[in-house]
Amino acid sequence: MDKQISFLDQLFDRGILYDSAVDGLYARSGIFEDVIARFEDLAKSFGKDETSEAMVFPPGLPMKDFETSGYMKNFPQLAGTVHAFCGNDHDHAGLLQCLASGEDWTKNQKATDIALTPAACYPLYPILARRGPLPATGAYVALQSYCYRHEPSREPTRMQMFRQREFVRVGNSEQAIEFRETWKKRGQEIMKLLQLPCHVEVANDPFFGRAGKIMGSSQREQELKFELVVPINSEASPTACMSFNYHMDNFGKAWNIRQADGSHAYTACVGFGLERIALALFRHHGLETENWPTNVRKVLWG
């Protein structure tokens, strides 16, 4: 049996995750959630002196802001939108008939004004923009969100619904770049404390289509994105557990976020894939958290 499948099956067998009929959509056990909560506390302890605000987002963002993000231009294959029934009695009767006969009942569902959040930091930018120009110190926000990406897979590390914890820096280009470099180091320190093998490498986002290939190589050339990878499913292709992103002033321009001097703001974010980090810990230290190395337990549970 494939090694990836067997890790997923082990997680189900031990009741760490619970299967559904949909690949990449799993219920989490108490212990899995506890590992994530402990990891989040650890990550937050690293950024605590700089962070000025904390936010947790629901898993959807306004459709208007989703459009502004450019996600449909770059990653249409991954996006999800919320649709709802908006019909009358007659439409409802038709829907029930479709359901009863096993036909597609969703064809008259209408798009709502909510899209599923594809990346945890997107809902932050319009909030900052609405406040007007930033102070000279910029903004430094700790946040968390459930995210959705339409990438069904039996690799346990590729879920359709998962959480990202992020730190986001908004200000001038020096502030954004310095933040990203600091977190590259901190990410590796965190993984050392957790005794997880890792390395940081330059990366690119999965831009769609033929034009996307060019965008991906340009992103790599400019070293805008780095990932911290850990072997989880296989040694040969380690999995991105953290990403360190510099967006230049793209989001500042898209959402009209201004610096104190009126120019567009620069942004950077570090994203922790919470489920992937929990899975890396279970993969490397075993399925019983009581048997994890003493120092790892100390770092997480004190």
Contact footprint for ligand ATP (CB under 6 A): 119, 149, 151, 157-159, 162, 164, 205-206, 227, 240-243, 271, 273, 275-276
Q: Would you give the end-to-end CA distance of the chain in angstroms?
A: 38
The distance of closest approach from Cβ of residue 63 to ligand ATP in the complex, given in angstroms and rounded to an integer, is 20
User: The tokens 């110190």 sit on which residue?
Assistant: 137
Q: 26 or 140: whose CB is closer to ligand ATP?
A: 26
Contact 101, 131 (CB under 8 A): no
| CA–CA dist 230, 240 (Å, integer) | 7
Q: 182 or 239: whose CB is closer to ligand ATP?
A: 239
243: left (phi over 0), alpha (psi -120 to 50) or beta: beta
Q: 224 or 269: whose CB is closer to Zn ion?
A: 269
Residue 269 found at the interface with Zn ion (CB under 5 A): yes
Name the segment binding Zn ion (CB under 5 A); options: 108-116, 148-156, 178-186, 269-277. 269-277
Nearest to 36 by CA among 152, 148, 162, 168: 162
Helical spans, DSSP H, in the chain: 3-13, 30-47, 63-68, 71-74, 89-101, 124-130, 173-193, 209-221, 250-255, 274-285, 294-301
Residue 163 binding: pick among ligand ATP, Zn ion, none (C-beta 5-8 Å cut-off by kind): none
The distance of closest approach from Cβ of residue 258 to ligand ATP in the complex, given in angstroms and rounded to an integer, is 26
Q: 77 or 106: whose CB is closer to ligand ATP?
A: 77
Judged by CB under 5 A, which of 121, 191, 224, 257 binds Zn ion? 121
Name the segment binding Zn ion (CB under 5 A); options: 53-61, 128-136, 192-200, 267-275. 267-275
- Restricting to residues 206-225, which ones interact with Zn ion according to CB under 5 A? none
Count of CB atoms situated within 10 Å of the CB of 264? 17
Contact 231, 99 (CB under 8 A): no
The distance of closest approach from Cβ of residue 227 to Zn ion in the complex, given in angstroms and rounded to an integer, is 13
Chain contacts with Zn ion (rule: CB under 5 A): 121, 269
